[in-house]
Structure 1
Amino acid sequence: MAVEIRLRLAEAEDIPVLAPLMREAIEALLSPVLPPHLVAASFEIMGLDRQLIADCTYYAVESGGQIVGCGGWSRRATLFGGDHTHGRDPAMLEPGRDPARVRAMYTRPDWTRRGVGRRVLDHCEAAAAAEGFTACELAATLAGEPLYRACGYQTVERFEAPTSSGDSVPLIRMRKPLAGG
C-alpha cells in the first residue's frame, strides 16, 4: 500500500518539529554505523540551519499532516552543518561553475526506506538545475551514503570533521552532475 507524501517549503514555524526530528534521526540512524562517542560528536556538526529556511531552499515532507522528513539545497558555500557548526561559509556559489549544495537531509527513523529522501533529492536537484547549477555536492554520513550512491552521487573524497571533544566524525563528499550539466 503506497503512502502519500507531500513536499513543501519549510517555514520558521516548523522549527519546533524539525529540530527534534533531526536529533532523533542522528541518534537512531547513525548508531548502527558509528560508536556512541562519534554519534554524540555528530550533534556538533549536524542539525538545523535556519539560513536554508530563510533562503527558501529547505523543505518539509509531510504525510497525514505530520512532518516525516526534511532536507534542502543551498546556493551558499557551506557544505554541511547546523546553525551552531564552526566554519560555516555564507558566500554565494556561482551557478555553472560551483556545485549547489544538498544539505541537512533527515528522515524520521520510522519513515526510512519509504521514498522520503529520494523525493527531497529529486526536488533539490531540479530546483538547483533551474537556477543554472550543473552539479550538486553534499557531505554524506556513513548512514546516508547508500541512498546518495543509489541516486547517482559519486565519492569525491572521504574526510573527517573535527569536534571540540577531540573526536572526528567521518563524512564523504559526494557529487552528481545534473541533467544537461
Structure 2
Amino acid sequence: RHRHYVIYDDWHGLFSARFWWVCRFYGFDNVSVLNGGWQGWLAQGRPVSSTIQHPSRGTDIEPAPRPELRIRTEELIHAHNDPNLQIWDTRRPSEYDGREQTGNRHAGHIPGALNLVWTDLLQPAATEGGARFFLPPEQLGDRINKLGLSPDKTIVPYCQSGIRAAFGFFALHLLGYDKLRLYDASMVDWANRDDTPMTAQR
C-alpha cells in the first residue's frame, strides 16, 4: 500500500485513468498516471526494455472501499435534477444527441447533462497516431470552466461503460475538484432500462 505505482497504457491514458479510479475507490492513493502514456515515453526517447518482469507476491492488503466516489443508478434517478449536482457526459457528441446509439435500447443522454468529449482534455498529437498529453493546467481549467462545471457542486461524469468517465474524473481531480462521484454503470445500465429518463435535445 505504501509503494508508489505509475500506470501507463497506449491509449492516451484512458485505461490508466480508469485503473487509477479503481485504486482510489479501494483506498489505494499512491498511484499516478503517466502523462502521454507509452507513446509519450517513446517520443521523449526514454529507455525501454523487453525483459518480462516476474514480481513476487506481495503481502495481503485489506482494501478500504470508498463508496462515496461512485453513484448508483437508483440514486442518480432521484438526484439527477438536484441543483447541487452536475452531470458530465464524456462521450462523443453523436452519442450525446442520439445519432449514435452504441447498441443501447434508448438513444440520447441523461437530461441536464453537459457534453464534452474526453479527448478534448488532451493536446493534439504532433504526428498521426502520436502521443497526446494532457492540456496544460490553465487550458484544462479553462475548458472545464467553459463547459460550466463548478467545484462547488457535486460532479458526476458518465459515458457508455465508465471508462471515459473515469478519465474525466481524473482530469477534475488534477484541477483540485473534490466533489466527484463516478457513474460507473453509465449508459450500459441507464440507456437499457425503462425507468430512466433520456433526451436527445442539446
Question: Which structure's residues are more often strand, by fraction?
Answer: 1
Q: Whose relative contact order is higher, 1 or 2, with alpha carbons under 8 Å and at least 6 apart?
A: 2
How high is the TM-score relative to the length of structure 1?
0.33
How high is the TM-score relative to the length of structure 2?
0.30
**Structure exhibiting the larger radius of gyration computed from Cα positions:** 2
